[in-house]
Structure 1
Amino acid sequence: MWTIRTFSVAPLIPNRLKRLQELAYNLWWAWNTDAIELFRRLDSELWDRTGHNPVALLGEVDQEKLKQASEDEGFLAHLDRVISDFDVYMNEPRWYQKHGGVEGSAGNPETQIAYFSAEFGLTECLPVYSGGLGILAGDHLKSASDLGLPLMGVGILYSQGYFRQYLNPDGWQQEAYPNYDYANSPAAIYNNPDGTPFTIELEFPDRKVTVQVWQVNVGRVRLYLMDTNLAANPPADREITSRLYGGDLEMRVRQEVLLGIGGVQVLDKLGLKPSVYHMNEGHSAFLALERINQLMEHRGLSFDEAREATMPGNVFTTHTPVPAGNDMFPAALMDKYFVHYYPRLGLSRKQFLSLGRQHPKDDNEPFSMTVLALRLAAHRNGVSRLHGEVSRQMWQRVWPEVPVNEVPVKHVTNGVHTASWTSKDMVELLDRYLGPKWRDHTDDVSIWERINRIPDSELWRTHERRRERLVGFARRQLRQQLLKRGATKLEIQQSEEVMDPEALTIGFARRFATYKRGTLLMRDLDRLARLLTNPERPVQIIFAGKAHPRDTEGKELIRQIIHLARHEEFRRKIVFLEDYDMNVARYMVQGVDVWLNTPRRPMEASGTSGMKVPCNGGINMSVLDGWWVEGYRIDNGWAVGYGEVYEDWEYQDRVESQSVYDALEKEVVPLFYDRGPDGLPRKWIERMKNSMMSVCPAFTTHRMVREYAEKFYLNAGRSVSAMTENDYAKAIGLSKWKQELYKSWPQIRIESVEQSELDSLTVGGDLEVRASVRLGSLRPEDVEVQLYTGQLDGQRQLVHAQAVPMRCEHSNTQTHLYAGTIPCRRSGMHGFGVRILPKHPDLVHPYDPGLILWA
């Protein structure tokens, strides 16, 4: 075998254009339409052929074109304008520097946030994402940059990314895994000061794996992506960073060890010391263990002390509303990869595995990454209000004695990075009527209220242009798909006739999982045909989306759509666009009139694709699930059903498909084609404006990231600072207090509960309650005695209950007398209970010790 010696060739950029390279390596360009147009001006055909990759563009563009650009006054003026905007953006104080989440107070300069995610969707030329989770992570980084947060991202550079989708002649999904050339991408290898690549050695069973790091600049934020595809590693270890969500369970463990443990080690070796670690889903939960391990090793703390020191700085976001969506590993697999890790943490095998089990004593329960994250993070959240409720129900067994509504999982509803998803045409229109500040203040309701200043005719024409471009894109894509499938000449010619640029266009694009019900509209084909083929009021549907490679049922749904689209009556009306990615998504959300979403409630944690539609003038029509529960208003879109949850899924599909048909036939289509003398659908445009004004400011990642900062990051940073000062004195003290608490808790008793006369209670009165409590060796200041009270439902269960603190009125060496008052403000049946919780000034949450005693 002969040796290949490598070398790199850099593009020759004229001096006047040198800063184009700097711009190409900062993804700020990806959400700035003026910067995108600057690169496109160099060679529009090459820009499209490189997948909108400015680094590859500069490497491949003809030298003569670069020379011409360097002498073109118009191009140079454009370049100077873009560079000026970029410099201002990179250097001016942003929201965090001005306020940091506290009005009138700048953010703590010592607080740094590390955001870990298995995928990041930033731009189509950096394909390290599969879908919504990654797109959200990418938008999170962009808004963190816009807001000036001191945040860094940590992920994996997958050499083959997620699969590329194509369909065989029967419409069955096939998967291709090309190897990507990241040397010609906006990612750059991170080098040591001497110019050699920066690496770490990550310990695996019986070997060490060399990990290289790439850096991606996302505005003011740095993203570090780990890579094991190196000659120094054997083939099996090079495969660790080959495919996103590829391989078997063992490969998933390897990837998550790399992400969580390797990611923390990378930051440590880089000299970066974040105080807050945000786990975007459970894939990175091993980071919490590695943080503990490093404190034990470097500071000599015990496991419990290191856990108290790190837990306040851990934030965990769960995205999955069903248990099957969470990574779980058998104990034998955990043994294989962590048997060397148990003694490092000072834990027995049973103690270690219990960290990932809802029932710590159940030796047959697999190890759950979500449970591990829930146990080791002080701040936990779902991604919509409904998903927060679902998560509290789903994970109550981690806190078995805690009422569902008090399970310590909050919610921060997802959003989208508006500037990344708004079309150039619409950006220019919004600049003209809202003013340029809307880009940096996408969560400002008062700015979006200026939408009413836009003349109906201008908004409509702008949206129509985007629909026309979507139709043109769909035709080009369909032609390419048919050519690859070996279609007949007639089929290829007919592809140029599909879609009508003036017809009502519905978009449906998402992962093809059965619960998302991509074929719900196909339950009544006669009714669908009447809806789509009305010559006076035509309707058309564009589908896109991938099924997981092992999801046969999801692939069958795609196949059904392809076969339906071949029927003569549907041939011009239904199109499926292959290989759904950020580019396809952008065309769709910018061009559709209606975005259709039909998940089976409550299985959609949030969903974000529909949030990208209103800023482009589109309107949502969705089941009341995920974010749409919060976003829907009667005048800004359409709801499918009324938020019901069915046990019979077949019946649910039948009912909700009828609801979709009814809404389209009776409301959507008539409203769209209700035209005035000037040809404008005035009532439709009114709904477009209502959608923009209500959805855009509420469902933006600017609002979302600010909410994370104000709810979690800033508080976490302060807590970590307090825990680490004076050589971790508070962490050590809290650990000792908990040890005493666990020893003494079995001694406590609620010996008696008495209440005032019940028969004479009326609205406006008070119920007085007294409880006699025995605390053993604990002090009254170690606990909080509470009344837990609320109304009773039909099953005599408390609803809308709340805790009312009781006060200690008398103490002796044996018992303590507590008293409390329940205000009676509503008539009806009520109930209460008495409980005791741990109390300590340094506890982030009273439920974290896992102790609660009810009378």
Structure 2
Amino acid sequence: MVDAGRRDIERAVSGLAARLPAELAPLASIAYDYSWCWHADGPALFEAVDAERWAACGHNPVRLLREAPQESLDRTAADDALLARAADIDARLRAHREGGPDGAVDPVAYFCAEYAVHVSLPVYSGGLGALAGDLIKEAADRSLPMVAVGLLYRQGYFRQRIDLTGWQREYWLENDPALLPMALVRGEDGEPVTVSVPVRDETIVVQIWRVDVGRVPLFLLDADRPENSAFARFSTAQLYVGDPAVRLTQYALLGIGGARALGALGVDPVVVHLNEGHAAYAALDGPGATLQDVVEHARRRTVFTTHTPVPAGNDAYAGPEIAELLEPLARERGFDLDEILRLGRTHPEAEHEPFGITQLALRTSRAANAVSRRHGDVAREMWADIWPDRLTQDIPIGHVTNGVHVPTWVGGPMRALLDEHLGPRWIEHAADPATWASIDALDGAELRAVRRRQREALIAMIRERIPRDRLARGEERGFAQAGAEAFEPDVLTIGFARRVATYKRMGLLVHDVERAVGIVGGHQPLQLVVAGKAHPKDDPGKELIQHLLHVRGAPGTATRVVFVADYDVAIAAKLVQGCDVWVNLPRPPMEASGTSGMKSVLNGGLQLSVLDGWWAEAYDGTNGWALPGDVDADHQAQDARDAARLYELLEGEILPSFYDTENGWVDMMRASLRTLAPRFSATRMLADYARLLYDPGRQARPVSRR
């Protein structure tokens, strides 16, 4: 485990413990190691201290222990059974942190713009962050030497509310790092460790916070320091700011600043893994006298994962903007600025072309991968012009299909059932198909009972949130009250939750409003829960939410269709654990992978998805339902066709199967678990990365030096 910042974490633990009754010292230790959040008893342990305060502080264990009334702390300190639970968890977490390879082992350095480790650490927005959080958790579980690098967004991603017209409104909340499970990294002199990054006309100083995710330290860079300008300080305030000047500054701080931070902390990674191109500028500031030397050094150890075939997801900027951003670095290092700009152009000689961070990452990596088999095909075609001398199938972009961190996403009742049926250590072997071989013998009644319990937990959350959401946006009292009666525990429950963008096609759900409403309220009814955020600059995405919410006046929908505002990973967990069918309707081939459906699988949920992303390689005809994955330039015709097929599947297959007293539904749940759970776990994903990309001796599919 990397030592940098460990003493600072230990000081933070000691400081928190000093404020508590002595018996509660183990709770302080647990609070600063995020692996508590995927320990089976971790969340319940903190909730037992003070359930009301636990909810009020957003499940942040440090805030809980700082803010809980003395009465609650004293009661907890006198609860021998709870203290025994705390001591057991603390011992387990401590043993894992201190076991395995030590800090002398050169780690993988994982760079990403966002991490969804837990809802109490709001430095994420959506799927990219969820994937990053799952991967570093898996690395922690497997004791794979790794450090993670990101940015500390003091205001995080935006919070969402919906107004009476159905329009999304955004707001931000300030996060105080002193109340988060992290510690500022300090040097021997007691002062914060800092690094400087030349950006435009300013040298920005960033400090470093350490977050322990089990054995993996997550280092978050923070520009909110007094010597910086107001612009520089704001540059790490919010995630995915629309202003391109701020975004480019963030990328420079993440890439160049992240690389310099690792150097200042004494970390010399054997592999640098860029998860998306946001940190690609790291390749421009390594050891070497010339730019060519620096880039060659980067190519020897950098691997790159591209996550999106959507053009807007592959940021590109006008050459003068990049020149202004990087001119101070070029001057400091003595590099030719035009040589840098050539690295980011698809056609290096085309001076009019914009500079793309994906192009830069591809050119400065020894290996690159997409995040599903089909995405690999799309990515090779998408970036073929960078290698004009190669056939498309020979473009050096492979694929590692995403997977999800099993203990994070499997619900408590399902986990208990699988513990009993597969054995208490099944999670350790989740990627082994043999672990799931006996799933067909799982009792159907027990499986249905567990699904009902998890559906009831989702319904409880909906009935608590929806009346408040509706009242807050000014709905009339009767409609708000209907939210308190929303959903029933024995009705088929369908979920659609993801980042709201036009290519995700949320609108297909209500493409034919009359038919959709008829299905919801039919003799075999269903209930639909939808959630998601549109980027603040994405008005078409906001219009999709508004269009969906306009259905609220249709008869029978007030208690059957709900939109859960302010989607986050805590809500996501409730949805993937409670929904019977998970719907995904991307316009092919725009879905790189998708992971929410994989989380649903672990909980006995079934998939109704377009054959794109992960589902194109997962669907076998027995483990869910599929819509065509064909590419069609006539989007209007494609939408009408796919919406009709969606309704046909719901009416003709899914609803009858769910309400049938026979075991067809249970058989499909078993088939889904057996065929999908091992293939789409983070255990398998991390093993693939270690085998295909992290092995420093492996030079498969080398990137051209062009």
Give the TM-score range, shorter chain: over 0.9
The residue that corresponds to 2:307 in the other structure is: 319
Output one character per residue of 1:286-341: Cα deviation in whole Å (capped at 9) or x when no partner.
001112xxx12xxxx43333433331200000011133321111111112121233
The residue that corresponds to 2:691 in the other structure is: 710
Counterpart of 1:591 in structure 2: which amino acid? G
**Matched residue SS, 1:33:** coil
- TM-score, normalised relative to structure 1: 0.79
Q: Which residue of the other structure, out of 586, 590, 593, is the alignment partner of 1:603?
A: 590
Aligned pairs for 1:223-262 (under 5 A) are 223-262=218-257
The residue that corresponds to 1:123 in the other structure is: 118
1:686 aligns with 2:667: yes
Q: Is the 8 A contact 2:367 2:702 kept in 1?
A: no
Structure 1 regions of 5+ residues with no counterpart?
A: 1-6, 98-106, 677-681, 720-842, 851-855
1:398 aligns with 2:398: no
Aligned pairs for 1:506-525 (under 5 A) are 506-525=494-513
1:560 aligns with 2:547: yes
CA–CA distance in 2 between the matches of 1:630 and 1:596?
A: 17
Output one character per residue of 1:546-579: Cα deviation in whole Å (capped at 9) or x when no partner.
0111111110110011110232332221100000
Output one character per residue of 1:578-629: Cα deviation in whole Å (capped at 9) or x when no partner.
0010011011000000000000000000011101001111111100000001
Q: Is the 8 A contact 2:362 2:703 kept in 1?
A: no
Q: Which residue of the other structure, out of 364, 387, 403, is the alignment partner of 1:415?
A: 403
The residue that corresponds to 2:7 in the other structure is: none
Question: Displacement of 1:67 after TM fit?
Answer: 2.1
Question: Displacement of 1:362 after TM fit?
Answer: 0.6
Q: Is the 8 A contact 1:142 1:417 kept in 2?
A: yes
CA–CA distance in 1 between the matches of 2:567 and 2:557?
A: 21
Q: Which protein is bigger by CA-based radius of gyration?
A: 1
The residue that corresponds to 2:180 in the other structure is: 185
Aligned pairs for 1:655-694 (under 5 A) are 655-676=641-662, 682-694=663-675
Question: Displacement of 1:22 after TM fit?
Answer: 1.2
Q: Is the 8 A contact 2:259 2:282 kept in 1?
A: yes
Q: In the superposition, relative to structure 1, how do residues 846 and 124 fare at CA in structure 2: closer, same or farther (>3 Å)?
A: closer
CA–CA distance in 1 between the matches of 2:705 and 2:540?
A: 43
Computed over aligned residues only, the root mean square deviation of the Cα atoms, in angstroms, reads 1.9
Question: Displacement of 1:123 after TM fit?
Answer: 0.5
Structure 2 regions of 5+ residues with no counterpart?
A: 1-11
Q: Which residue of the other structure, out of 468, 476, 484, is the alignment partner of 2:456?
A: 468
Q: Is the 8 A contact 2:436 2:673 kept in 1?
A: yes
Q: Is the 8 A contact 2:363 2:703 kept in 1?
A: no
Question: Displacement of 1:529 after TM fit?
Answer: 2.3
CA–CA distance in 2 between the matches of 1:533 and 1:71?
A: 52
1:85 aligns with 2:92: yes
Question: Displacement of 1:200 after TM fit?
Answer: 1.9
Output one character per residue of 1:680-721: Cα deviation in whole Å (capped at 9) or x when no partner.
xx210111111111111101111111110111111x2x47xx
Output one character per residue of 1:399-424: Cα deviation in whole Å (capped at 9) or x when no partner.
01100000000000001111101111
**Matched residue SS, 2:41:** helix
Question: Displacement of 1:344 after TM fit?
Answer: 4.8
The residue that corresponds to 1:12 in the other structure is: 19
Q: Is the 8 A contact 2:105 2:145 kept in 1?
A: no
The residue that corresponds to 2:5 in the other structure is: none
Q: Which residue of the other structure, out of 22, 29, 49, is the alignment partner of 2:36?
A: 29
Report % sequence identity. Answer: 41
Counterpart of 1:435 in structure 2: which amino acid? G
The residue that corresponds to 1:849 in the other structure is: 705
The residue that corresponds to 1:654 in the other structure is: 640
Q: Is the 8 A contact 1:413 1:606 kept in 2?
A: yes
CA–CA distance in 2 between the matches of 1:137 and 1:420?
A: 13
1:695 aligns with 2:695: no
1:304 aligns with 2:292: yes
The residue that corresponds to 1:478 in the other structure is: 466
CA–CA distance in 2 between the matches of 1:345 and 1:701?
A: 39
Q: Is the 8 A contact 1:392 1:404 kept in 2?
A: yes
Structure with the higher fraction of residues in helix conformation: 2
CA–CA distance in 1 between the matches of 2:507 and 2:43?
A: 36
Question: Displacement of 1:846 after TM fit?
Answer: 6.2
Counterpart of 1:17 in structure 2: which amino acid? L
Output one character per residue of 1:393-447: Cα deviation in whole Å (capped at 9) or x when no partner.
0000100110000000000000111110111111111111111212222211111
Counterpart of 1:24 in structure 2: which amino acid? A
Output one character per residue of 1:768-795: Cα deviation in whole Å (capped at 9) or x when no partner.
xxxxxxxxxxxxxxxxxxxxxxxxxxxx
The residue that corresponds to 1:333 in the other structure is: 321
Question: Displacement of 1:9 after TM fit?
Answer: 8.3
Question: Displacement of 1:47 after TM fit?
Answer: 1.0
Question: Displacement of 1:108 after TM fit?
Answer: 12
**Matched residue SS, 1:501:** coil
Structure with the higher fraction of residues in strand conformation: 1
CA–CA distance in 1 between the matches of 2:211 and 2:692?
A: 28
Question: Displacement of 1:505 after TM fit?
Answer: 0.5
1:379 aligns with 2:350: no
**Matched residue SS, 2:196:** strand
* Larger RCO (CA under 8 A, 6+ residues apart): 2
Q: Is the 8 A contact 1:285 1:373 kept in 2?
A: yes
The residue that corresponds to 1:274 in the other structure is: 269
CA–CA distance in 1 between the matches of 2:328 and 2:483?
A: 60
Counterpart of 2:691 in structure 1: which amino acid? E
Counterpart of 1:436 in structure 2: which amino acid? P
**Matched residue SS, 1:497:** coil
The residue that corresponds to 2:330 in the other structure is: 342
Counterpart of 1:140 in structure 2: which amino acid? L
Q: In the superposition, relative to structure 1, how do residues 846 and 193 fare at CA in structure 2: closer, same or farther (>3 Å)?
A: closer
Compare 398-407 and 60-69 and name the one that shifted more: 60-69
CA–CA distance in 1 between the matches of 2:219 and 2:72?
A: 33
Question: Displacement of 1:48 after TM fit?
Answer: 1.2
CA–CA distance in 1 between the matches of 2:319 and 2:477?
A: 57
CA–CA distance in 2 between the matches of 1:565 and 1:696?
A: 36
**Matched residue SS, 2:278:** helix
CA–CA distance in 2 between the matches of 1:845 and 1:521?
A: 41
Across the two proteins, how many residue pairs are aligned to each other? 693
Q: In the superposition, relative to structure 1, how do residues 90 and 436 fare at CA in structure 2: closer, same or farther (>3 Å)?
A: farther
CA–CA distance in 1 between the matches of 2:397 and 2:297?
A: 21
CA–CA distance in 2 between the matches of 1:80 and 1:341?
A: 50
The residue that corresponds to 2:162 in the other structure is: 167
Question: Displacement of 1:640 after TM fit?
Answer: 1.0
Compare 476-485 and 603-612 and name the one that shifted more: 476-485
Q: Is the 8 A contact 1:565 1:573 kept in 2?
A: no
Q: Which residue of the other structure, out of 61, 64, 81, is the alignment partner of 1:57?
A: 64
**Matched residue SS, 1:119:** coil
The residue that corresponds to 1:767 in the other structure is: none
CA–CA distance in 2 between the matches of 1:290 and 1:702?
A: 33
Q: Is the 8 A contact 2:198 2:329 kept in 1?
A: no
Q: Is the 8 A contact 2:414 2:603 kept in 1?
A: yes
CA–CA distance in 2 between the matches of 1:318 and 1:168?
A: 36
CA–CA distance in 2 between the matches of 1:844 and 1:648?
A: 39
Question: Displacement of 1:849 after TM fit?
Answer: 3.4
CA–CA distance in 2 between the matches of 1:184 and 1:849?
A: 47
**Matched residue SS, 2:475:** coil
The residue that corresponds to 2:281 in the other structure is: 286
The residue that corresponds to 2:8 in the other structure is: none
CA–CA distance in 2 between the matches of 1:231 and 1:351?
A: 35
The residue that corresponds to 2:492 in the other structure is: 504
Output one character per residue of 1:26-55: Cα deviation in whole Å (capped at 9) or x when no partner.
100111121111111111111111111111
Output one character per residue of 1:338-360: Cα deviation in whole Å (capped at 9) or x when no partner.
12333455543322211000111
Q: Which residue of the other structure, out of 65, 70, 76, is the alignment partner of 1:69?
A: 76
Q: Is the 8 A contact 1:124 1:583 kept in 2?
A: yes
Counterpart of 2:29 in structure 1: which amino acid? E
Q: Is the 8 A contact 1:312 1:379 kept in 2?
A: no
Q: Is the 8 A contact 1:312 1:844 kept in 2?
A: no
The residue that corresponds to 1:577 in the other structure is: 564
The residue that corresponds to 1:832 in the other structure is: none
Q: In the superposition, relative to structure 1, how do residues 192 and 849 fare at CA in structure 2: closer, same or farther (>3 Å)?
A: closer
